[in-house]
Amino acid sequence: MRETTDAPKPDAAAPLIEIRGLSKTFCLHVQGGTRIPVFDGIDLAVHPGECLALVGESGTGKSTLMRSIYANYRPGGGRILVRHRGRIVDMASAEPREILEVRRHSMGYVSQFLRVVPRVAAEDIVAEPLRMTGVGETEALERARAMLARLRIPERLWRLAPATFSGGEQQRVNIARGFVVGFPILLLDEPTAALDAANRRVVIELIAEAKARGSAIVGIFHDREVRDAVADRLFELNPGKEAAA
């Protein structure tokens, strides 16, 4: 069927993520209100087909920046503008319902460790984000299994819950879950930390394919080989430099 909508075409050159003046300070209420300034005045943009690698020493706020983009953390100031279904949503101020909508359709997040849910099979963990976007049961399972196979998870493990899987197997299930939908925006926190060379190559391929589809990716890659293979630009976070002000 041909589309006959008058809606304006999305601007292919416009960024999928645009961050302006972002700051974050943690306040430890249980420890007398101690304040931990992490970053201040961060500006960045990520365009379709681009992979931006966050770099900087341990503790400079790379994961905090990524969790802020996913709206796990609420920043102290600034804007996190992301493109979601043809409009712009500010993840720094969005309502919880809208945040869930963005996560369901537009933004995937591969955390460093899989959140293991007891008794849920690996193939169901991977199929879930597909079901959430409305993909039917049979197709969701087929695509989930294909992704598990691609990430070299042996078929005998697909029906098992990943609680007993090795660190690398759990990480690959997590990656499969993050890549199965083909989100326009992907956040990757150390996706290859526990992987051997062959599995790292699969992840490099998946990232390259996502970029070719036009996804915008923000990643933390301590592995130099992976970073060199996938990153188009680096964004450096500095220890306390901005935050000390």
Ligand X SMILES: Nc1ncnc2c1ncn2[C@@H]1O[C@H](COP(=O)(O)OP(=O)(O)OP(=O)(O)O)[C@@H](O)[C@H]1O
| Alpha helix (H) residue ranges in 33-161 | 62-69, 96-105, 122-132, 137-150
State which residue, 62 or 84, has the beta carbon closest to Mg ion. 62
Going by C-alpha positions, the residue among 89, 65, 84, 87 that lies closest to residue 76 is 65
- One-letter amino acid for residue 100 of the chain: L
**How long is the chain?**
245
Per-residue string for binding with ligand X, 36-65, x by CB under 6 A? x-x-----------------x-xxxxxxx-
Q: What is the distance between the alpha carbons of residues 31 and 8, in angstroms, rounded to a whole number?
A: 51
- Contact set with Mg ion (CB under 5 A): 62-63
State which residue, 36 or 120, has the beta carbon closest to ligand X. 36
CB of 118 to Mg ion, least distance (A): 26
Q: Which residue has the tokens 């500010």?
A: 90
Per-residue string for binding with ligand X, 155-194, x by CB under 6 A? ----------------------------------------
Q: What is the distance between the alpha carbons of residues 11 and 212, in angstroms, rounded to a whole number?
A: 17
State which residue, 62 or 172, has the beta carbon closest to ligand X. 62
Total residues in contact with ligand X, by rule CB under 6 A: 11
Choose the one of ligand X, Mg ion, none that binds residue 31, judging by a C-beta under 5 to 8 angstroms depending on kind. none
State which residue, 157 or 194, has the beta carbon closest to Mg ion. 194
CB of 59 to Mg ion, least distance (A): 8
Residue 241 contacts by C-beta under 8 Å, 6 or more apart in sequence? none
- One-letter amino acid for residue 209 of the chain: E
State which residue, 35 or 156, has the beta carbon closest to ligand X. 35
Write out the H or E segment, with its range, that includes residue 106. Answer: none
Choose the one of ligand X, Mg ion, none that binds residue 60, judging by a C-beta under 5 to 8 angstroms depending on kind. ligand X
Q: What is the distance between the alpha carbons of residues 170 and 172, in angstroms, rounded to a whole number?
A: 5
CB of 22 to ligand X, least distance (A): 13
Catalog residues that contact ligand X under the rule CB under 6 A: 26, 36, 38, 56, 58-64
